[in-house]
Structure 1
Amino acid sequence: MRRTRLAAALAVALGATPAFAADPIRIGEINSYTALAAFTLPYKKGIELALEEINRAGGVLGRPLEVVFRDDGFKPADAARHAEELVTAEKVDLLAGTFSSGTGLAVADYANRQKILFVASEPLSDALVWDKGSRYVFRLRASTAMQAEMLAAEAAKLPATRWATVAPNYEYGTAFVAAFKQALSAKRSDVTWVGEQWPAQGKLDAGATVEGVESAKPQAIFNATFGPDLARFVKEGNSRDLFKGRAVVSALTGEPEYLDPLKEETPEGWIVTGYPWSQIDTEAHRSFRTAYEAKFKESPRLGSVVGYTTIQTIAAALKKAGSTETEKLIAAYRGLEFSSPFGPAKFRAGDHQSTLGAFVGKTAQKDGRGVMVDWRYIDGASVLPSEDEGNRRRPAEARN
C-alpha cells in the first residue's frame, strides 16, 4: 500500500495520472450530446477536465473516477433506456447528467424505482426536487423557480404592466412561465398577462410566434426560448421591430452557448440570466478558466462549469461517504458543501437542491458580438424557500 501511494504521489508530481491498483468508480452519464451540442459538448469537456484533475491527484478512495457517456437525443424514453443499460450492463455506481426537464424526470423516475443515486446536473424543472422529488435525486443548477425569482426582481423595477410570454411547450417552458408569473405578480399587483406563445422545442415558427406576441400589444415580454429557437425569435423580432420600445426579460439568453450565435443580431438591454465568463475575476473562476483554456484552447461555456462542478460534487460526496454505497452517498450529499468556479455552495438536506447561484445582467453588443453587462452573481440560497418549506413540497416518501 505504501509503495502504491508513493508511486501515485510521484506520478502527480511529474504531471501524469497515477496508476491505480483498484477498479474505477464508474459514473453513468446521460445527456443530449447530438441534439444540443452547443451546451453539452462544453459540458462534456468540463467533465473531462474534472476527471483529469481528480485522477491526477490520486482519485477518490484510492480509485480512479471513470465516466461512461450515453446520448439520449433529447428523448425521455431513450434517457430511461440508457439509465437501465448503464446500471444493469455497465454496472455503474451512480447516475448523473441530463439536459432537459423531460429527460431529467425520466431518469429521476428510474433512479427512484431502482434505488440508485442520480445527480441531475442541468435540468431546471422544479418538479425534480419538489412535487416529484425523490430521496435518490439531487439537483445542481439553479431551478426555474430560482431563476424566475432572480429575473422577477429586476422585472418588477420596470414601468411595464402588460406582459406576454414566449416559451417552449414542454416541462421546462411551462414551469418557467408559471414561476415567473407567480414571482412577478407577487411583487407587482398591477401586472396583467395579455398573451402566451408556446412553440414546440426546436421547431419555433418565428413568423407566427412574433405575430402572436405583437397581436397581444404587450409592454414587456418574458422569453424562455433558447438555442436555435432563440436565434430565430430574435432575428424575426428584430426584422419586425417587435422589441422596439418594449422591455424583454429572457431566461438563459446571457449564456454564451446561446448569446454568441446572435452576433450583430444581439438585442441590447434585455434582462437575462447567463455567464459573463470573460469578466469574472474571482480566484476560483480564474483557476478554472486558466485550466480549461490550457486544455481545450477555447473559452469555457456555462456547460463547461456545470459539467466540471457535477463531477467535483460527486468526488466530494464519495470522500465524505467513504463508500460507493447508495445510502451512504445519499447521507453524504445531504448538506454537502462544495466548491465551484462560482464560489462555495451546498446541497440542501431538506429538498436536495443545490444553492449554486446564477448571474443576472443585461445584454449588449461589443465588437459585433453579444455580451452581458451590469451583471451580478445571485446566491441560490437567497431565492429558495426555507429547507422546511422545500421539504414539505416533496412527496411524503421523499421527505426527511
Structure 2
Amino acid sequence: MKGFLKTVGLLAGLWTACSGLSHAQPAPIKIGELNSYKALPALMGPYRKGWELAQDEVNNSGGLLGRKVETIFRDDNANPGDAVRAAEELVSRERVDVLAGVTLSNVGLAVADFAAQRKAFFLASGPLSDKVVWDNGNRYTYRLRSGTHALAASVVEEAAKAKKKRWALVYPNYEYGQAAIATFKTALKIAQPDVEFVTEQAPPFGKLDAGAVVQALEDAKPDAIFNVLFGADLTKFAREGKTRGLFKNRLVVSLLTGEPEYMDPLKDDAPEDWLVTGYPYQLINTPAHQAFYNAYQKKYGEYPRLNSVVGYATMQALAAGIRKAGSVEAEKLITAFKGLGFDSPFGPVVFRPQDNQSTLGIYVGRTALVNGKGVMKNGTYIDGAQLTLPDADIARLRTAK
C-alpha cells in the first residue's frame, strides 16, 4: 500500500510539473486584422487565405520570438467609424500587439489616424490612397501595397504612346477614385500636353447605373477611356459597355482590372486588349512566386488571386519586422521597419524610410479572352521604387499637416 501511495504521489508530482510547464508557455503574438470581409468577399476570401498560409508557415517554423502568432480578424463593414470602433476593441479588449489590414482607402485613413492617436503600430495592407503615407502619413503607419500614384504612373507611359487626344474618365466617387483620376490627369498632361478630358463620370461606390454611365461616355465621343471602377461596379460597366459597343475601336486603360478577382466573374464578358494593372499568375515563373503558387494551390486547391499575394506578403512583412525588432513594442517596430527588406512572391521588397511605403511593385499588361475566361495575356513587372514621387515632394507632403 505504501508503494502504491508513493507511486500515486510521484505521478501527481509529475502532473503538477507538466501542468506548470504548460502554464509557462509564452502567450501568442496577437495581430488585430481589419478588413471589408462582408462588403468585398471576392477580394477578402483570397486575402485571408494568403494571410493564413503565411501564418501557418511562420508558426510551423517556430513562430516569432519563440511565440506562436495568432490573428484576430474583424470586419470593418466598409465604414470608417465601424473600423475605428473595431480597432479600439482590438487594442483595448483583445490586447493585440499590432494592427494590420484594410482595403478601402477611406477606412485606411481612419485607422491610420487611430493608430497615431493610440500610438499603435499599423501595417496597412491594401488601402490605395496615398494620403495614408503622404499627406496624412504618420510614424505609426506603414503600407504594403502600392498606391494610386504608382498605379496611375505605371500605365501613363503606355497610354501616352497611343496618342489619343480625347479622354473620358470613369471612377468611384470616393477617396481612391478621386486620387487615381487626379494623378492620371496630371501625369498624362505632362506626357501628352495636347490631351483633352471630355467627360468625367463619378458614380457613388457600389451604386453604378451602368446604362446611364455608358451612354454618357458614348455621347462624349472619346478616343480613349480611363477607368478605375472595381468590384461589382466594374462587372456591370464592362458588360454594359461591351453590349453597347462602347469599347469598340477605343483604347481602354483600366486600373486593377487585370486582377483575377475582377476578371473571373466576367467570364466570356471579360474585356479584350484593355491596358490594365493586374496579376498574370500563370505567367510568373520566378522561384519565389512559384514556391508561393505551389504552396497556395496545395493548401486550397485553387490558384491564388492578387489579394492572396497581398495577404501573404503582409504577414511576411510583419514577421520580418518583428524578427528584426526583437519585440512587438510599437517604437521598436517603427525603427525596425525603416528600410526593412523581405522576400515576397513578387521578389525583394523594401519599406522606404522616407514615407513608410513598401516597394512591392505592379504588373502591367493587356487583357485577353481565352477559353471563355479573361486573363492577362502578358505582364511587365514595375518595381514600386520606380513609381514614386521625388523624395523632396514626399517630404513636403508628409510635413504639410
SS at structure 2 position matched to 1:59: coil
After superposition, where does 1:278-357 map in structure 2 within 5 Å?
Answer: 278-357=282-361
Contact preservation (8 Å) 1:249, 1:270: yes
Give secondary structure in 2 for the equivalent of 1:27: strand
1:205 corresponding residue in structure 2: 209
Gaps of 5+ in 1: 1-18
1:150–1:383: 8 Å Cα contact kept in structure 2?
A: yes
Instruction: State whether residues 24 and 65 of structure 1, in contact with CA within 8 Å, keep that contact through their aligned partners in structure 2.
Output: yes
TM-score, scaled to structure 1: 0.93
Greater shift, 259-268 or 298-307, is seen at 259-268
The CA deviation at 1:186 is: 1.1
Give 2:34's match in structure 1, choosing from 17, 30, 55.
Answer: 30
1:98 is displaced (CA, Å) by 0.4
Contact 2:135/2:400 (<8 A) preserved: no
Asked if residue 52 in structure 1 is aligned to residue 56 in structure 2, the reply is yes
Equivalents in 1 of 2:361, 2:240: separation in Å?
A: 32
Whether 1:360 aligns to 2:364 is yes
What residue is the counterpart of 1:6 in the other structure? none
The alpha carbon displacement at 1:386 in A equals 3.3
Match 2:183 to one of 163, 166, 179: 179
**Alignment-mate amino acid for residue 48 of structure 2:** K
Deviations 1:207-231 (A, max 9, x none): 1111111121111000000111111
Q: Residue 274 of structure 2 aligns with which residue?
A: 270
In 2: Cα distance, 1:357 partner to 1:228 partner: 25
Match of 1:76 among 55, 73, 80: 80
Q: Within the alignment, does 1:134 sit opposite 2:138 as a pair?
A: yes
CA contact 2:283–2:378 (8 Å) conserved in 1: no
Q: Which residue of 1 aligns with 2:236?
A: 232
| Contact residue 138 and residue 352 of structure 1 kept, 8 A | yes
Task: Name the SS of the counterpart of 2:71 in structure 1.
Answer: strand
Distance 1:260 1:388 in 2: 41
- The alignment status of 1:257 with 2:261, answered yes or no, reads yes
Query: Which residue, out of 251, 259, 284, partners 1:247?
Result: 251
Counterpart of 1:125 (choices 125, 129, 154) is 129
Paired residues of 1:350 and 1:388 also in contact (CA < 8 A): no
**Separation in 2, partners of 1:20, 1:216:** 70
User: Offset of 1:153 from its aligned partner?
Assistant: 1.2
Alignment coverage as a number of residue pairs: 379
AA at the equivalent of 1:52: D
**TM-score, normalising length: structure 2:** 0.93
Aligned to 1:163: 167
Q: For the residues of structure 1 that align with 2:106 and 2:166, how far apart are their CA atoms?
A: 31
The percent identity for this pair of structures is: 56
Letter in 2 for 1:123: P
Secondary structure at the counterpart of residue 314 of structure 1: helix
8 Å CA contact 2:267–2:373 kept in 1: the answer is yes
How big is each residue's C-alpha offset from its partner over 1:314-366, in whole Å with a ceiling of 9 and x where there is no partner?
A: 01000110111100000011100011000001000000111100100001110
Corresponding residue SS for 1:195: strand
Shift of 1:83: 0.4
Who is 2:149 aligned against?
145
Q: 1:374 to 1:297 in 2, by over 3 A?
A: closer
Q: Is the 1:348–1:387 contact (alpha carbons within 8 Å) kept by the matching residues of 2?
A: no
1:5-30 per-position Cα deviation (integer Å, ceiling 9, x unaligned):
xxxxxxxxxxxxxx992111101000
Instruction: Give 1 or 2 for the bigger CA radius of gyration.
Output: 2
Partner of 1:393: 397
Counterpart-to-counterpart distance in 2, 1:154 and 1:396: 32
3-state secondary structure, aligned to 1:230: helix
Counterpart of 1:394 in 2: which secondary structure?
Answer: helix
- Quick one: which amino acid aligns to residue 225 of structure 1? L
Q: Distance in 1 between matches of 2:359 and 2:84?
A: 27
**Shift of residue 267 of structure 1?**
1.7
Unaligned 5+ segments in structure 2 are 1-22
Q: Which residue of 1 aligns with 2:380?
A: 376
Do the aligned partners of residues 155 and 20 (structure 1) sit closer, same or farther apart at CA in structure 2, a change above 3 Å counting? farther
Question: Is 2:44 the partner of 1:40?
Answer: yes
Letter in 2 for 1:280: I
Separation in structure 2 between the aligned mates of residue 165 and residue 229 of structure 1, nearest angstrom = 14
Provide the residue aligned with 1:215 in structure 2.
219
1:38–1:257 CA contact under 8 A, matched in 2: yes
- Contact between 1:223 and 1:250, CA under 8 Å: does it hold in 2? yes
User: What's the CA shift for 1:73?
Assistant: 1.6
Asked if 2 retains the 8 angstrom alpha-carbon contact of 1:336 and 1:346, the reply is yes
Task: State the Cα distance separating 1:396 from its structure 2 match.
Answer: 5.7
Q: Deviation digits for residues 265-311 of structure 1, max 9, x if unmatched?
A: 11211000000111110000000000001111111011110000001
Whole-angstrom CA distance in 1 between matches of 2:181 and 2:341: 31
